[in-house]
Structure formats: C-alpha cells, structure tokens
Chains A and B, each alone.
Chain A
C-alpha cells in the first residue's frame, strides 16, 4: 500500500537535463543581513508580471525567509518552498545539493512550467558558493554596512559569482563606506565579471539586478528555441 502519486519524479540529476528543458535556476548567496531575501522579494515584484517564478529558500532555522516572502506576498504561497539545511547552509547549496534539487524539481512539478527558479542560500560566509549542479548562474549579495573591505578580502563568492551586488549604497555615508574603493577592489578581484551598486529597497533599486536576470533568461530561452 503506497501513497505514491502517478506522476514520474524526475530521476535524473541536473547535469543530464537538456539546457532549456527546465526553468533557469539562479542562486543568491551572501553574508547574513546583506539583503538576499530583500533582493529575492524585489526581483519577484519586478518580474512576476512577465516571468513565471518559483523560490526555494535555505534557512538555518527552517522557514524564516520563506515566511518573510509569504508575508510580503511577493508570490502565491505554493510557489515558495523552504529547504532545511541541518545547521550547514553552505553544504546544502554546494557539497550535497540533493534536498535543493528535489525542492526545485517538486516546485516545477507542482506549479510549473516555470521560467525562473530563485534559490536563496541561508546567510553564510564569504566562501559559500553554489554548485554548478544546482544553479545555472549565481548572484552574490554583499552590503556596504558589512564593511567596505569585503571586495578586497575576496573569497569565492566575491571573485567568481556571475553577478556581484553591492547593496544598501544609501547607507554608505552613515557607515563611512568608500564606494569607489569597493568598486576598484571588486574590479581587481573579478576582472570582467559584472558588479552592481544599488539599494534594492529603494524605488528602482532592483531594476539593474532585474535587467541582469532578464538577460540571463533571454540567453536561456535562446537555447530552447
């Protein structure tokens, strides 16, 4: 006797799925409090009219971020799922991506087809990056209040993320952050990889990030057609 549904669970791991056959997966990582959840919320508001979106959150303590997104009503509840990470958020997005892959696939099964799945990491350290087996592109979110020396310190998130977002630039005068120095340091660490300075909670603040995601989506769709 089983409660197994009739649907076929996607058995393959990500690498064996044809590009374009599923939603584009974008990971958002970064230190605690830098504005990852705010970025996800703002991206959903900016894109939801034209893009079918799902969100997977990874919390240290279960559902905090998912509940925030639900309260903010950025998406219908069934489009937001939380993954529990067993005290190691970086493990769940990098070393053992099993639970996140399942969450993404279940989301696509339940409410799909989706164009875009945003996978938000639990707040972690500067070494946390997403596995290429889980996401197609990753955004690393830092903020000026966390210290303007973070770009100089580097680490895999800062140096290798497909997009680096330096958030809360409106706070720079109050915390004594030197934005120009951050830009020079980031360019030195990242070479040609893009860096966006913004404040995602301010009017229009999410627009450059949304535009970048839009470009990735267009590239993803181009493969399918």
Chain B
C-alpha cells in the first residue's frame, strides 16, 4: 500500500503509467467516450471541437469519475460509492457501459495486481461495479495514492474520445495528441479537486462527491445505444 506522507511505494509511478496506458487490457479500446455520437451529430469535427468535447467531459463526468476513484482508493466503502455513481449517471445506457467496463477492469486488475479487496468486490457485485470505483480499488492494489487514481480517471476521460476521434474522423494523430497535451493543466486541476472531494466523501459520506453531468453526453449515449450500425460499443 501507499504510505501516508505522499511518497508512493517503489514502482508506484511506473504502475500508474501501466494503469493509465490506453493499451491496458480492460476493454476500453471498444468505447469512444461519447465521441461517436458527437461525430454523428456534427458537434465533433476536428481538433478544435475535439478539445471542446474533451474539456466539457473532463469538467463534468470526468470530475465525478475522478472523485469516485479517489474516494475508492482512500478506503471509502466501494458499494456505497457504486450507489453514488448510479445516482450521478442519469443515462441507463451509460450506467450499463460503466458497469461492464468496471467488470472488465476488475478481471484485468485481479490478474495484474491481485488483492483481497478486489476479490471481495467481485463477490459482492458479480454483475459489475461502476468503472471509476473499480479503478480506485485497482489503484490501491497497485500501491497508488488517491490522487493517482484521480489522475488515471481524469486522463482516461479525455484520452478515450481523443483516440476514438482519430479512428472516426481520420483526424491527424499528432493533432489529437496535441489536444491532450494542451488539456494537461486542466487534468491536473480536476484530479486535485477530485482528490479533495474524495477525502470529504471519506469523512462525510458519498453525498459530498461532485455531481456534475453533461446532458448532451447523456442524450448522445441513449441515442447511440439504439443505433443499428456503429463502430464503438459506446
């Protein structure tokens, strides 16, 4: 486990790179983070609109996910956090996707960073727990700190639509990477805010977690789930 004075255990920094790597085999590659629906609606067209899309996602659902993850890493009850994630995810399609991705991450995490807490979570919620909650517990199992988990969640929230946009739009991959680089300072601030929220949630309960939402993402997710033909699962 991580030590309490902010200094991760040996190997923790590399573990964070592994966890945040888009190639970590936890099912994320088949999801666009809402980008496919936004492309179809004409809201996501190029590097500029990708940056706006990612920024909107980061400060709404991204902050919520990062706070849930940080709270889970710091030891808040994962089942309570799972309920809190339900309450903060108005779209039924998104709730289903989040649980499915949580289940897939849990499978990978149990193989990569085995820990009793992960086994207990799988036994308690066999149909899956929301992905950010699993991410937080995975981070703890990897010896990471709550802030690390918040970073992984916040970065995932912008990197998923960015890599999907490269495939969907034929977007220049250098431009997509530049969009992510330009968002780095905002990822920092969201991760830090999320860590604080996670600490409050540990003290005061899950009601202290942020509840930002993005109605267009919710509507897009609902519509996308009903498409007959699509490239991405969400």
Contact = CB atoms under 8 A, between A and B. Distances in A.
Given A11-B107, A84-B232, A86-B232, A3 B164 contact: no
The 8 closest A-B pairs by CB, nearest first: A86-B30, A98-B27, A98-B104, A9-B126, A96-B25, A11-B122, A84-B233, A4-B127
Interface stretch (B146-154, B173-181, B184-192, B223-231): B223-231
Given A2-B82, A92-B30, 4 more contacts: A1-B83, A4-B127, A84-B232, A99-B104
B128 interface: yes
- Residue among A62, A85, A87 facing the most chain B CB atoms (10 A cut-off): A87
Contacts of B137: none
A52 interface: no
Nearest to A63: B228
A96 B30 CA distance: 9
Interface of B is mostly: helix
Interface string A3-46: 11101110111011000000000000000000000000000000
Most buried by A among B23, B125, B233: B233
Interface of B: 23, 25-32, 82-83, 86, 100, 103-104, 106-108, 110-111, 119, 122-123, 125-128, 164, 167-168, 228-233
A8 B126 CA distance: 5
Nearest to A88: B29
A8 B26 CA distance: 20
A88 B29 CA distance: 8
Contact of B127 (A5, A91, A98): A5
B159 to A, nearest CB: 14
Nearest to B96: A3
B232 A102 contact: no
A86 B204 CA distance: 40
A3 B125 CA distance: 10
Contacts of A83: 30
A61 B205 CA distance: 43
Contact of B30 (A8, A11, A15, A85): A85
Contact of B86 (A1, A7, A13, A62): A1
Interface of A: 1-5, 7-9, 11-13, 15-16, 60-63, 83-88, 91-92, 95-99, 101-102
A97 B28 CA distance: 11
13 contacts: A2-B127, A9-B103, A12-B110, A13-B111, A61-B231, A62-B230, A84-B230, A91-B29, A95-B29, A99-B27, A99-B30, A102-B100, A102-B104
A60 B27 CA distance: 15
A1 B231 CA distance: 32
A63 B25 CA distance: 23
Contact of B106 (A11, A85, A99): A11
A60 B30 CA distance: 10
A87 B107 contact: no
